[in-house]
């Protein structure tokens, strides 16, 4: 600690802290312009200069360390004059377009000009700043408004890790430029810009900041669930921003949060219930009629012939009501969601092995980890917030980053080690890493002895053939050893895995192997790091937690075990059996499922074997589609029920790390659309259940789900509520005997997510369409040539499941032998070629 005197006040602060921090601690305000707490100090504007006794020159408080015995003056006539002159300099050639500048009213340059009463200009110079940059998608750059504070550059590099922005040119011509190919279009540069230099094109010229109504809510586009503020005027979202210091996202957003809200205002929004009247044409009907039709058709089909698919797009309350509607109202346990294809598979393994039903720790505990292993995930695309935590650990901090993935994703740029493995080798690779850690004596022995049910089970790892695993993965043993040294030697380890692993054919075994690795590496030990399964979809954890799966009741309770308790609480008897998604599909095909209720889910784009779903849906007697956007799916529906977007409803969502986020309605529902929960509740009431009030519902969920007993559902003014972190139970953790699995042969097609789109929802928004307008197929140039296709040409992909056609992009981000296609786009609809149970599959590629 050091002691110093600022304006006569004594303040004590930790060694290395700046004068600015010390002043803040002492309650003394030093004016700043370029300072941004969440990035390293830049010291560009010099407005925070202070005087220090015994020091001839003025020093910038934001980047001068406080030193023991310093005597600092923050206010003096000279300092005032200096600051004022600097502001005058900043205003030389600053355009007087404040009336039409987006920043007008929330401009820090305006504010500081006003504060220092700068009413005249003593300086003049030729205006040499370059012209406005209009050529970038989504963001406009107006250099003559720039004060070159570099907040944008620093956020882009230090927080987001994109490193797209940089200062170009010299002197007064200098401006912020961009390596366009590195831009992630997160909009954080726009958010941190103190002036109107970085402008959101989707917001530009549309509203004055003070006109906007602000509603604190949560982004539901991915499982990061960033805390946001939706800003509206009339009944329209104008922009979405985030506040520094709030939530794990700390004021940061990604392209999803910042630029993709346009789908809410899409002209394809569903505004009234539509009923297929004559078997062909859908006609608007009243809610009364629509709901009674559901009840009638559902009852007529009988529980065994009814099936429903819930959604990670819906809130916890909605998913809870949906499963209750099915189980208690329709007497059906044919209930599932797309968690089935990935997340649930990993989660069930973790439950069995570790008693863990999600992530083992909070996302913000990744940020201080000494080593991070990202396995089978494009974190940047699946949960950008987790990417930012990794940047905090490994780019801002000293953490070592290991990336194991089939394709080269953004994090490869920052990784110490990139293990580019071949499809089908993931389990073996994870096991090999675990064994190496044990062999090298780096295993966390004390922890293992205390927590493993059978410490001797560690010996199983000794049977792993490391060389074979390395060969199968196509990585060198030396690299593997180095990765093991980093992971095994680190004080704290975060292991993060996602879609490419969780949706692969080895999901269960690979998850078990990663859990083994987490155990031996100490990832589950202590407050920092952890084990983090990820899924791209917003409330994937909530769907599972609320029991939208035939084997689970709310609170991730085993169906058979908790059945009587739930029956008692609900006062009904629960149905037996139950079909999962694949069985529902088979049931439809075999005519056994005749009533299908799709709530916020589109199997025609989002589900593997989407072509098979397409055919099956024709066989359903009565198809209810509840959604917010018209699609190829709603066209098939017998009844379309218009739900509402995240911005039009209240409720909660759960992130994988056990944070409950509160949605607040910022808009009134469009047309006659109704909040999804209200639809389910009314149906439940029509089917004989008791009417549900919001408060009572939350109490019911809390009472019934042990999982949620430590959180509060109402927010009470807070943005989110964090569940207590998972604690391992002594002698309860297991090493599961899994084997490496068989390597796959031949060219493989991998379907996955990309950063610019979230599910298929955002393909309805104009923002992301500027950078990712349509589907495509990424091929290694060698494979492309071998398949006879050309860059930009069209390729047909044929697998045992089906085929898909799309334009080709050559890229060496995919290695030879791997073809990648994003899942978001209905035009390519790669899911037609992807089998249930694996996101990668042998494929033949040929010219289309």
Partner 1 sequence: MSQVIFSSWGRQIVDNRQGGETDLASLKLKLPDRYLENGAIGAFMGWDGIIVLDRETDIVAMAAEYMKRVQEKYCCAKCSPGKKGTRVLQDTLARIVSGHGEERDLEIIEGLSALLDNCKCTLCMTSALPVFDTVKYFRDDYLAYIRGRRKAKPAASYHDKLTAPCMDRCPAHIDIPSYIEEIKNRRFDESLDVIRRNMPIPAVCGRVCPHPCESACRRALVDEPISIMVLKRVAADHEWMHHKRPPMAPAGSREKTVCVIGGGPAGVSCAYYLALEGYKVTILDMLPEPGGTVAVGIPDYRMPRDLLRREYEIVQGLGVEIKFNTKLGRDISLKQVKEQYDGVFIGVGAFRSKPMGVEGEDQGYEGFSEGGINYLRAVALGQPIKTGKRVIVVGGGNTAIDCVRVALREGAEDSILVYRRTRKEMPAESYEVDDAEEEGVQFEFLRNPTRLVHENGRITGVEVVKMELGEPDESGRRRPQPVPGSEYVIPCDMVIPAIGQDPDLSFLEEDNLGIETTRWNTIVTRGGVLMTDCKGVFAGGDCEIGPMTVVAAVGQGRRAARAMARYLETGRTFLDEADAMEDLVNNLGVFDKDEPVGLAGGTHREHQPKISGPERARGWDEIELAMPETQAVREAERCLRCYRVGMVAVG
- In this complex, which beta carbon is closest to partner 1, that of residue 171 or of residue 441? 171
Give how far Cα 110 sits from Cα of 131, 196, 201, 325, 388, Å.
Answer: 22, 10, 22, 55, 31
| Angle of the 287-301 helix axis to the 676-686 helix axis, nearest 10 | 60
- In this complex, which beta carbon is closest to partner 1, that of residue 30 or of residue 747? 30
- d(Cα 111, Cα 209) in Å, to the nearest integer? 14
Kindly state the smallest distance separating residue 475's Cβ from partner 1, in Å.
11
- d(Cα 615, Cα 264) in Å, to the nearest integer? 29
- In this complex, which beta carbon is closest to partner 1, that of residue 61 or of residue 843? 61
Kindly state the smallest distance separating residue 149's Cβ from partner 1, in Å.
9
- Is residue 392 within 8 Å of residue 556, measured between CB atoms? no
Q: Using a CB cutoff of 8 Å and minimum separation of 24, what contacts does 583-588 make?
A: 583/334, 584/307, 584/309, 584/334, 584/336, 585/609, 585/612, 585/613, 585/616, 585/836, 587/307, 587/334, 588/307, 588/616, 588/617, 588/619, 588/620
Kindly state the smallest distance separating residue 561's Cβ from partner 1, in Å.
49
Give the DSSP letter string of 233-254: ETTEEEEEE--TTSTTTTT---
Buried b (16+ CB within 10 A) or exposed e, 548-558: bbbbbbbbbbe
- In this complex, which beta carbon is closest to partner 1, that of residue 118 or of residue 395? 395
- d(Cα 422, Cα 410) in Å, to the nearest integer? 18
Task: Work out the number of other CB atoms within 10 angstroms of the CB of residue 565.
Answer: 13
- In this complex, which beta carbon is closest to partner 1, that of residue 143 or of residue 498? 143
**Residue among 793, 811, 804 at smallest CA distance from 827:** 804
Beta strands in 416-536, from DSSP E residues, in sequence order: 417-420, 493-497, 530-533
Buried b (16+ CB within 10 A) or exposed e, 633-655: bbebbbbbbbbbbbbbbbbbbbb
Kindly state the smallest distance separating residue 252's Cβ from partner 1, in Å.
17
Kindly state the smallest distance separating residue 182's Cβ from partner 1, in Å.
13
Kindly state the smallest distance separating residue 411's Cβ from partner 1, in Å.
12
Kindly state the smallest distance separating residue 124's Cβ from partner 1, in Å.
7
Instruction: Please provide residue 33's backbone torsions phi and psi, each rounded to the nearest 5 degrees.
Output: -135, -45
- Alpha-carbon Rg for the chain, nearest whole angstrom, is 28
- Is residue 740 within 8 Å of residue 434, measured between CB atoms? no
- In this complex, which beta carbon is closest to partner 1, that of residue 290 or of residue 490? 490
Binding site for partner 1 (CB under 8 A): 16, 40, 42-47, 49, 52, 55-60, 63-65, 67-68, 70, 82, 85-86, 89-90, 92, 122-126, 128, 147-148, 150, 154, 157-158, 163, 167, 169-174, 395-398, 414-418, 479
Kindly state the smallest distance separating residue 489's Cβ from partner 1, in Å.
13
Give the DSSP letter string of 273-333: -EEESSSS-EEE--HHHHHHHHHHHHHHH-GGGEEEE--TTS-HHHHHHHHHIIIIIS---
- In this complex, which beta carbon is closest to partner 1, that of residue 71 or of residue 711? 71
- In this complex, which beta carbon is closest to partner 1, that of residue 412 or of residue 687? 412
- d(Cα 340, Cα 336) in Å, to the nearest integer? 7
Kindly state the smallest distance separating residue 249's Cβ from partner 1, in Å.
21
- Is residue 213 within 8 Å of residue 231, measured between CB atoms? yes
**Residue 709 is encoded by which pair of tokens?**
């007993």
Label residue 731 left, alpha or beta by phi (over 0 means left) and psi (-120 to 50 means alpha).
Answer: left
Kindly state the smallest distance separating residue 35's Cβ from partner 1, in Å.
13
Kindly state the smallest distance separating residue 809's Cβ from partner 1, in Å.
23
- In this complex, which beta carbon is closest to partner 1, that of residue 174 or of residue 572? 174
Label residue 475 left, alpha or beta by phi (over 0 means left) and psi (-120 to 50 means alpha).
Answer: beta
Kindly state the smallest distance separating residue 5's Cβ from partner 1, in Å.
14
Kindly state the smallest distance separating residue 438's Cβ from partner 1, in Å.
24
């Amino acid at each position: 600690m050091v002691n110093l005197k600022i304006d006569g006040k004594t303040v004590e602060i930790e060694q290395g802290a700046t004068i600015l921090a010390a002043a803040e601690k002492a309650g003394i305000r030093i004016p700043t312009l370029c300072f941004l707490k969440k990035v390293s100090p830049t010291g560009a504007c010099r407005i925070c200069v202070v005087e220090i006794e015994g020091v001839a020159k003025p020093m910038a408080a934001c980047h001068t360390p406080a030193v023991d015995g310093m005597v600092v003056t923050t206010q003096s006539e000279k300092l005032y004059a200096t600051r004022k002159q600097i502001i005058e300099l900043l205003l030389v050639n600053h355009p007087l377009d404040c009336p039409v500048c987006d920043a007008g009213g929330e401009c820090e340059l305006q504010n500081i000009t006003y504060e220092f009463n700068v009413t005249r200009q003593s300086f003049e110079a030729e205006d040499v700043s370059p012209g406005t940059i209009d050529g970038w998608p989504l963001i406009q750059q107006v250099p003559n408004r720039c004060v070159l504070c570099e907040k944008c550059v620093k956020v882009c590099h230090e927080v987001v890790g994109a490193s797209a922005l940089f200062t170009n040119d010299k002197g007064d011509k200098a401006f912020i430029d961009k390596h366009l190919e590195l831009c992630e279009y997160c909009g954080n540069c726009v958010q941190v810009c103190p002036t109107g230099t970085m402008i959101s094109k989707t917001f530009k010229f549309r509203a004055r900041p003070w006109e906007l109504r602000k509603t604190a809510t949560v982004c539901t586009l991915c499982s990061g669930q960033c805390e946001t503020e939706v800003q509206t005027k009339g009944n329209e979202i104008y922009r979405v921003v985030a506040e520094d210091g709030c939530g794990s996202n700390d004021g940061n957003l990604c392209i999803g949060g910042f630029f993709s809200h346009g789908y809410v205002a899409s002209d394809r929004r569903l505004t009234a219930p539509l009923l297929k009247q004559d078997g062909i044409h859908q006609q608007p009907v009243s809610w009364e009629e629509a709901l009674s039709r559901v009840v009638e058709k559902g009852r007529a089909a009988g529980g065994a012939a009814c099936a429903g698919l819930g959604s990670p797009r819906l809130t916890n309350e909605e998913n809870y009501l949906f499963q209750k509607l099915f189980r208690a109202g329709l007497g059906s346990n044919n209930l599932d969601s797309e968690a089935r294809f990935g997340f649930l598979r990993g989660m069930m393994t973790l439950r069995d092995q570790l008693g863990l039903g999600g992530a083992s720790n909070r996302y913000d505990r990744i940020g201080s980890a000494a080593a991070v292993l990202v396995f089978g995930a494009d974190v940047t695309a699946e949960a950008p917030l987790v990417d930012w935590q990794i940047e905090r650990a490994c780019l801002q901090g000293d953490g070592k980053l290991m990336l194991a993935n089939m394709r080269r994703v953004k994090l490869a740029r920052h990784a110490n080690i990139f293990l580019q493995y071949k499809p089908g080798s993931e389990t073996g690779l994870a096991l090999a890493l675990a064994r190496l850690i044990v062999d090298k004596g780096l295993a966390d022995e004390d922890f293992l002895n205390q927590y493993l049910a059978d410490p001797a089970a560690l010996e199983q790892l000794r049977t792993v053939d490391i060389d074979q695993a390395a060969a199968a993965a196509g990585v060198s043993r030396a690299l593997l050893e180095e990765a093991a040294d980093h992971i095994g030697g680190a004080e704290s380890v975060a292991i993060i895995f996602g879609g490419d692993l969780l949706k692969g054919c080895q999901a269960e075994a690979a998850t078990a192997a990663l859990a083994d690795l987490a155990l031996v590496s100490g990832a589950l030990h202590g407050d920092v790091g952890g084990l983090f399964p990820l899924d791209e979809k917003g409330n994937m954890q909530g769907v599972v937690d609320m029991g939208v799966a035939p084997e689970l009741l709310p609170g991730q309770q085993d169906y058979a075990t908790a059945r009587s308790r739930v029956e008692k609480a609900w006062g009904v008897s629960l149905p037996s059996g139950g079909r999962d998604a694949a069985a529902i599909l088979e049931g439809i095909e075999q005519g056994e499922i005749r009533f299908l209720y799709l709530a916020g889910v589109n199997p025609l784009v989002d589900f593997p074997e989407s072509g098979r779903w397409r055919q099956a849906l024709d066989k359903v007697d009565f198809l209810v589609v509840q959604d917010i956007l018209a699609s190829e799916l709603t066209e098939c529906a017998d009844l379309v029920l218009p739900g509402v977007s995240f911005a039009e409803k209240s409720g909660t969502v759960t992130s994988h790390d056990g944070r409950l986020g509160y949605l607040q309605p910022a808009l009134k529902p469009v047309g006659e659309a109704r909040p999804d929960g209200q639809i389910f509740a009314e149906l439940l009431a029509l089917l004989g259940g008791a009417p549900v009030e919001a408060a009572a519902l939350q109490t019911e969920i809390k009472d019934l789900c042990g999982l949620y007993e430590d959180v509060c559902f109402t927010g009470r003014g807070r943005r989110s509520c964090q569940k207590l972190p998972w604690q391992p139970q002594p002698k309860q953790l297991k090493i599961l005997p899994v084997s490496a699995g068989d390597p796959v042969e031949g060219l493989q097609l991998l379907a996955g997510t990309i950063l610019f789109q979230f599910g298929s929802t955002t393909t309805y928004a104009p923002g992301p369409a500027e950078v990712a307008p349509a589907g495509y197929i990424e091929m290694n140039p060698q494979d492309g040539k071998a398949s006879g296709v050309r860059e930009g040409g069209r390729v047909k992909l044929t697998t045992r499941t089906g085929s898909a056609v799309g334009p080709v992009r050559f890229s060496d981000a995919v290695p030879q032998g791997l073809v990648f296609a994003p899942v978001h786009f209905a035009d390519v609809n790669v899911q037609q070629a992807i089998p249930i149970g694996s996101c990668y599959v042998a494929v033949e590629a040929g010219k289309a």
